[in-house]
Structure 1
Amino acid sequence: MLRVVVSTLPALRPLLRRRPLLNPKPPTRSRLPQRTFRALSSSAPSATPAPSAAGAGEAVEVEEHLTRCAAAGRAPLRVAVLVSGGVDSSVALRLLHAAGHRCTAFYLKIWFQEDFRNFWSECPWDEDLKYAQAVCDKIDVPLEVVHLSDEYWNHVVSHIINEYRCGRTPNPDVLCNTRIKFGAFLEAIENLGFDYIASGHYAHVVHPSVENTDAPSLLQLSKDKIKDQTYFLSHLSQSQLRRLLFPLGCIKKDEVRRLAAQMGLPNQGRKDSQGICFLGKVKFSEFVERHIGEMEGIILEAESGDYLGNHRGFWFYTIGQRQGLRLAGGPWYVVEKDVQNNVVFVSRNYYSLDKRRCTFRVGSLNWFDDSGPGNSERLKCKVRHSPEFHDCTVTKEHTEENGDVLVVHLSEDDQGLAAERAPILRAGAKCEVPAGTAS
């Protein structure tokens, strides 16, 4: 029994035939050999001739490329690896194991929607867990299941519901990373002797050298700019960041897929998960309706104030939304919401000059590397999960209501800006956008 786990969490339960997590005898290095990736990095048959000097050099070069973000030079480390049953986390686990680290895999069982049992014929996480177990069995890595349903509800789902009631649209993946995966879970294993937590995120963390331990760890973009997930990690604190490894930060998605096939992973053909992490097969509108309900309101044209129809509640809509409005003569876009009076304003001229959005304010600032940029410093800004960055400048302000804030001036309009977005400034910023700050 794990008595070291914080009191608000259930004990970590070992899955199936695994030995207890607190086994006093760690695995020996003979069980964790450094593995070359000769068979994984080419289409050559697995039967390999005796290595020549050139062949050995090629193998070392490939191995360094694949494990550069897996701290191979610091092996053996004790690493807690978050696995989901998907391809990304499975390849991350295999790379860490091949780099010589002593790995324990963890599957987080988060919010299970008891009220939505009739939406599926079988448990929605059962298949994920089976795949995770099969991946771990191939390399004899122990797998543990951690139940964080209460924490997920209290710190993610309930917050999302409250934000929707206020007319904002928070990002659940940002909250899940900060408060659950690298929050509650990190606290749960804090005293179990792990050096790092790893996952299959597409991001890269640069840690300080052993000679300069006072320097901060930095979050950097991954090699794959399209799959890059630094947006979802932008709220992590320095204390969280210092504990993380992201082995896929140096690898592109297509290479991860090839590795999965060449490694013979049982889940190599699984599709990537889509949508909001906690909903499973439940439609988002059904989730909102169940927890917030409906309240009929009116839809008005923004320019004329003309009545166009009714809606079920402003919380079903977000700025820039086009789908689901069910209005003739479109396309129509949501451009504003009157939360007090439950009115949704729409427009067919979403990209007109009078609706330009190139300035916004951000608050709750937290910088990874220093105290932040100077006034009028030229930066790069990301306002959503996408490969695109905006050129921008910032100006510091201080208000009694929100404390220190930054006014961000984009070099060009972004019509999708809204109060619920969470921008990233540079690679080292952590920002939240207060309500009603886009202009």
Structure 2
Amino acid sequence: MVRVVVSTLPALRPLLRRGSLLNHKPLPRSRLQPWPFCTLSSSPAAGAPSAAVKGEEVALDKHLTRCAAAGIAPLRVAVLVSGGVDSSVALRLLHAAGHRCTAFYLKIWFQEDFRNFWSECPWDEDLKYAQAVCDKIDVPLEVVHLSDEYWNHVVSHMINEYRCGRTPNPDVLCNTRIKFGSFLEAIENLGFDYIASGHYAHVVHPSAENTEAPSVLQLSKDKIKDQTYFLSHLSQSQLRRLLFPLGCITKDEVRRLATQMGLPNQGRKDSQGICFLGKVKFSEFVERHIGEKEGIILEAESGDYLGIHRGFWFYTIGQRQGLRLPGGPWYVVEKDVQNNVVFVSRNYYSLDKRRRTFRVGSLNWFDNCGPGNNEQLKCKVRHSPEFHDCTLVKERSEENGDALVVHLAEDDQGLAAGQFAAFYSENVCLGSGIILDSWDKMSFPVCSRALEIAKLADKSSLGKPIRIVNLEHIVKPEQQEEIKVA
């Protein structure tokens, strides 16, 4: 078993003794205040840095530690480690750059209800690797329990969003509310100059001559792994305190460094999915916290009754897997939240039903004022290397406050209410907002018959589902007309 480190930092001791989860608080905005700015404008020291590893040295080229503030007078850096390769290499790069590092492992697991799924504690292996990496370079490791904070600020919000038929992004919320929110607040008075993590992004801080200027979030050198999308809703006061040592190198270089440094976790695979679920399937998590409620599945174009589902919250727009309907492929195209009805179609990608306009609210800009009206930018509507050219039009309403109408230069079928849209100018991330519910005229066209059936109080009168057969998948073209006539 891994030794859970009892913190020697007084401000963190309360976070090591958590009771039961008592109240699910709404999401607050960060209360963080700007720190005195510690400039990173000094000239790098001559010579390439090296990573000392208990008697052995690993020579590093200058470009590998450029995003780790190499050559600056030693900084005190709190480094978030997960036991994975990325955060481990980030720690080693900061250590090689000569900074005084303390590693922190954030324990956010709360799903004790699922303990029968695990052969051992789900974070036990991660912590073992994190401890082993820290032991190699004599860096202290602190374990901070933030399960309550994670529940209050991320998980409860996710549950409420799914109940409302929206699709939240827990990774964006985790960065904003936990890693660089609750944790940053906990260590605010402990004398750390910066917080660092293994994210693929690059923060450019202002020079000593212009300390009032904002810090800038730039794309990572590795455009495939770039994670600025997940960081796009941070506040300027949070961004100002961050270092991302991997922002100047690629994933391939990270893997090579892990091998070169002899890291014990060099062969570990990258984590996938929502961080707190571990081996628990997402559907099992949803079932546990929201439950099931049987509803019907209707074809959007005809209103035909095709089958039943376990609750609209198990489905998201554009979903194909898990519908279990014959004659597909079928796609979820709309949801009636009030009546618990899921509408599907085989024509999700037809030209007349593609979307390129949507609204965004809950706007967050790193420079406070944001882009101008009708400004042409690029945006991401999901974590991927793909960008859309777009034009932004500002609007204001009593319901949504300040919002944007976003016009894409090309169609995108993956627009889901509750997700984030991040905006970019060249290689700079300007900020982001949350995709709002679409206008009716922009939604997938559901026929009037389907809408009327969805409103039926007693749906048992519908009888048995229609078993639709997709002729193109089963018979030869010359036989299709004969079968239709018969």
TM range (shorter): 0.7 to 0.9
Which 10-residue stretch deviates more, 349-358 or 301-310?
349-358
Correspondence for 1:401 = 399
Matched-pair identity in %:
84
Residue type of the alignment partner of 2:111:
Q
Structure 1 stretches (4+) deviating beyond 4 angstroms?
37-40
Correspondence for 1:214 = 212
Residue type of the alignment partner of 1:4:
A
Is contact 2:162-2:313 (8 Å) kept?
yes
Is contact 2:68-2:94 (8 Å) kept?
yes
Correspondence for 1:4 = 11
Distance 1:201-1:47 versus aligned 2 partners, 3 A rule: closer
Distance 1:278-1:181 versus aligned 2 partners, 3 A rule: same
Structure 1 residue 375: deviation in Å?
A: 1.9
Matched, 1:351 2:349: yes
Q: Deviations over 1:311-350 (max 9, x none)?
A: 0000000001000000011111111011011110111111
Is contact 1:363-1:433 (8 Å) kept?
yes
Q: Secondary structure of the equivalent of 1:73?
A: coil
Write the mapping of 1:366-377 to structure 2, written as runs, cut at 5 A: 366-377=364-375
Is contact 1:236-1:430 (8 Å) kept?
no
Matched, 1:318 2:320: no
Distance 1:112-1:38 versus aligned 2 partners, 3 A rule: closer
Q: Secondary structure of the equivalent of 1:178?
A: helix
Structure 1 residue 366: deviation in Å?
A: 1.7
Unaligned 5+ residue runs, structure 2?
Answer: 1-7, 19-46, 443-486
Correspondence for 1:66 = 64
Q: Deviations over 1:1-28 (max 9, x none)?
A: 6443597x4469xxxxxxxxxxxxxxxx
Structure 1 residue 186: deviation in Å?
A: 0.2
Unaligned 5+ residue runs, structure 1?
Answer: 13-33, 41-45, 49-58
- State the distance in 2 between where 1:308 and 1:75 align: 67
TM score, norm. by length of structure 1: 0.88
- State the distance in 2 between where 1:73 and 1:336 align: 55
Q: Secondary structure of the equivalent of 1:140?
A: coil
- State the distance in 2 between where 1:177 and 1:216 align: 19
Correspondence for 1:31 = none
Residue type of the alignment partner of 1:335:
V
Q: Which of the residues 432, 435, 439 maps onto 2:434?
A: 432
Structure 1 residue 81: deviation in Å?
A: 0.2
- State the distance in 2 between where 1:415 and 1:280 align: 29
Matched, 1:160 2:158: yes
Q: Secondary structure of the equivalent of 1:282?
A: coil
Q: Which of the residues 178, 192, 195 maps onto 1:194?
A: 192
- State the distance in 1 between where 2:276 and 2:217 align: 25
Q: Secondary structure of the equivalent of 1:74?
A: coil
Q: Which of the residues 233, 241, 247 maps onto 2:231?
A: 233
Is contact 1:333-1:347 (8 Å) kept?
yes
Q: Secondary structure of the equivalent of 1:145?
A: strand
Correspondence for 2:450 = none
Structure 1 residue 310: deviation in Å?
A: 0.4
Is contact 1:381-1:424 (8 Å) kept?
yes
Larger Rg: 2
- State the distance in 2 between where 1:4 and 1:284 align: 34
- State the distance in 2 between where 1:364 and 1:348 align: 33
- State the distance in 1 between where 2:161 and 2:436 align: 11
Correspondence for 2:286 = 288
